[in-house]
């Protein structure tokens, strides 16, 4: 994979390339940044550059024998670690690990190197299971890195979402990072690095990637999705540097439209003080998977903020679709200085409760009832 396939982020690529060229690449890197900024694609581009035998200015050559294996992500010296669930039919004490789902992982990469955790959940058919990285993963990594390089160069591990490691796994990974084999590179791709052990974070050189700039995002939309430049610029601004969000907004039936409908329903019921229908709404929301519940609440938090900012009538402060703006034009007046902070706290508490496996129906019903009170504040 060439670096030019990563959308934007040229400064980060040049920084990483220079480390490799000057032979001062640390054995452990951690790529961090907002969702959709291209952390995993950057990790794949770096891994390809490390393993390529004929390096070019813009990354891997794409022609050598190593690159031929990398096209299907089947290079013997490139290892992937990612959160998984228990495979069906396994015993209760079985410890799942990435190789159990390596075929599905490679298929997802072949389809698009930009994907979300939700996409991975759908690929796993996880339903309500929470994927994690078990201790068996660290044992397998230690075994793989104890062997000599198959192709006589680097051995590379890409660890996607290391914050989902179980404690025992994290402790064993730490030992591997403390005494890494020669010519080994561990590239961690983290959404929430603060959840990792301090000792692991201290062993990694952290690289913070920013949101994709609007120009690069718009250019990619024109080139990859074949849309008009003006439309691409509007989408890029609304996507706020998130390629995945930009793609979602191109899909007429995307999840955000569903979330907008659910948000509108909740606020209308709260305004009407219709507790009976609120209960039905809560039960519907409670039937969704936990990750989808969490995504809705994050959408609710963002859109509530957009409604508050809409009151200032400053277009530069708002990032809404046409449908969202049409609703905000009538609803925004109910989100004001008297209630915005309490509403935000209420939603953030609901997110924490969902992440801690609280009963979804109860969480959403409590949220709905409290919204009746908060919307009255002026």
Distance CA(156)–CA(1), nearest Å, equals 14
Helix 135-146 to helix 167-178 angle (10° resolution) is 20
The stretch 68-87 carries a mean pLDDT of 93
Angstrom distances, CA of residue 118 to CA of 30, 127, 241: 21, 11, 19
The answer to whether residue 253 scores a pLDDT higher than 70 is no
Q: Which of 10-14, 87-91, 192-196 has the lowest mean pLDDT?
A: 87-91
Of the pLDDT bands very low, low, confident and very high (cuts 50, 70, 90), residue 93 is: confident
Q: Show Cβ contacts of residue 367 under 8 Å, excluding neighbours closer than 6 positions.
A: 266, 282, 346, 347, 350
Query: Could you tell me how far CA 132 lies from the centroid of its own chain?
Result: 15
The proportion of the chain whose per-residue pLDDT surpasses 70, expressed as a percent, equals: 98
Average pLDDT, the chain: 91
Q: Which of 88-92, 191-195, 278-282, 333-337 has the lowest mean pLDDT?
A: 88-92
Task: Give the model's pLDDT for residue 261.
Answer: 93
The answer to whether residue 317 scores a pLDDT higher than 80 is no
pTM: 0.70
Q: Which of 24-33, 49-58, 86-95, 279-288 has the lowest mean pLDDT?
A: 86-95
Task: Give the model's pLDDT for residue 248.
Answer: 81
Task: Give the model's pLDDT for residue 254.
Answer: 61
DSSP 8-state symbol, 235: H
From the CB of residue 30, how many other CB atoms can be counted at a distance below 10 Å? 23
The stretch 152-179 carries a mean pLDDT of 92
The proportion of the chain whose per-residue pLDDT surpasses 90, expressed as a percent, equals: 71
pLDDT tens digits, residue range 111-141?
Answer: 999 999 989 998 998 777 889 999 999 999 9
The answer to whether residue 258 scores a pLDDT higher than 90 is no
Q: Show Cβ contacts of residue 223 under 8 Å, excluding neighbours closer than 6 positions.
A: none
């Amino acid at each position: 994979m060439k670096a030019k396939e990563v959308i934007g982020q040229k400064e980060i690529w040049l920084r990483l390339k220079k480390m490799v060229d000057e032979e001062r690449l640390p054995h452990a890197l951690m790529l961090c940044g907002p969702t959709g900024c291209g952390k995993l694609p950057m990790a794949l581009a770096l891994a390809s550059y490390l393993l390529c035998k004929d390096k070019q200015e813009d990354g891997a050559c794409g022609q050598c024998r190593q690159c031929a294996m990398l096209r299907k992500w089947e290079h013997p010296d490139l290892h992937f670690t990612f959160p998984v669930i228990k495979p069906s039919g396994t015993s209760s004490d079985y410890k799942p690990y990435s190789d159990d789902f390596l075929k599905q992982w490679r298929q997802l990469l072949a389809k698009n190197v930009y994907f979300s955790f939700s996409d991975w959940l759908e690929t796993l058919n996880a339903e309500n299971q929470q994927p994690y990285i078990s201790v068996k993963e660290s044992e397998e990594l230690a075994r793989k890195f104890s062997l000599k390089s198959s192709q006589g160069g680097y051995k590379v591990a890409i660890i996607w979402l290391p914050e989902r490691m179980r404690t025992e796994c994290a402790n064993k990974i730490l030992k591997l990072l403390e005494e890494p084999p020669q010519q080994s590179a561990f590239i961690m791709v983290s959404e929430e690095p603060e959840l990792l052990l301090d000792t692991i974070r201290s062993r990694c050189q952290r690289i913070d990637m920013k949101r994709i700039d609007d120009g690069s995002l718009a250019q990619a939309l024109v080139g990859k999705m074949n849309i008009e430049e003006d439309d691409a610029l509007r989408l890029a601004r609304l996507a706020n540097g998130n390629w995945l969000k930009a793609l979602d907004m191109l899909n007429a039936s995307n999840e955000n439209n569903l979330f907008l409908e659910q948000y509108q329903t909740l606020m209308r019921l709260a305004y009407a003080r219709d507790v009976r229908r609120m209960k039905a709404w809560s039960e519907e929301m409670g039937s969704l998977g936990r990750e989808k519940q969490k995504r809705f609440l994050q959408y609710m938090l963002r859109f509530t903020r957009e409604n508050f900012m809409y009151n200032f009538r400053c277009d530069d402060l708002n990032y809404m679709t046409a449908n969202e703006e049409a609703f905000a034009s009538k609803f925004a007046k109910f989100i004001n200085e008297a209630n915005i902070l309490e509403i935000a706290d209420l939603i953030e508490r609901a997110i924490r409760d969902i992440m801690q496996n609280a009963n979804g129906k109860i969480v959403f019903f409590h949220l709905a009832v409290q919204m009746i009170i908060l919307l009255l504040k002026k």
